[in-house]
Structure 1
Amino acid sequence: MVNSLACSLTWWASEEGEGRTVEKTTTAGGTAPVQQRPRRTPVWVKVLAGIALVLVLLFAGIRLAVLPGIKDLFGTESRDRSGPALLQSIQDMSRYQAASGNFQVVVDLEKNAKYLPDALRGTRTLYVGAGTVDAYVDLGKVGEKDVTVNDDRTSAVLKLPHAQLGKPALDPDRSYAVSKQRGLLDRLGDLFSDNPNGEQAVQKLAVKHIGEAAQDSELTARAESNTTGMLQGLLRSLGFTDVRVSYGS
Structure 2
Amino acid sequence: GVGLKASAIEIYTDVDGIMTADPRMVDNARIMSCISYGACCELAEQGAKVIHQRAVEIAQNGNIPLYVKCTFDDEPGTLITNAGTLAERTGLESQSFVNGITYIKGLTQYRVTLDGARAGQELFQTLADAGISVSCLNLSLTESMFSVYSDNAAACAAVLERHGFNYRQKDRCAKVSVVGISVRGMPGLMASFVNALNEKGIAILQTVDSNTSISAIIEETSLKDAVVSLHEAYRLNH
TM-score (normalizing by structure 2):
0.18
Tell me which protein shows more strand as a share of its residues. 1
Provide the TM-score with structure 1 as the length reference.
Answer: 0.18
Structure of higher CA gyration radius: 1
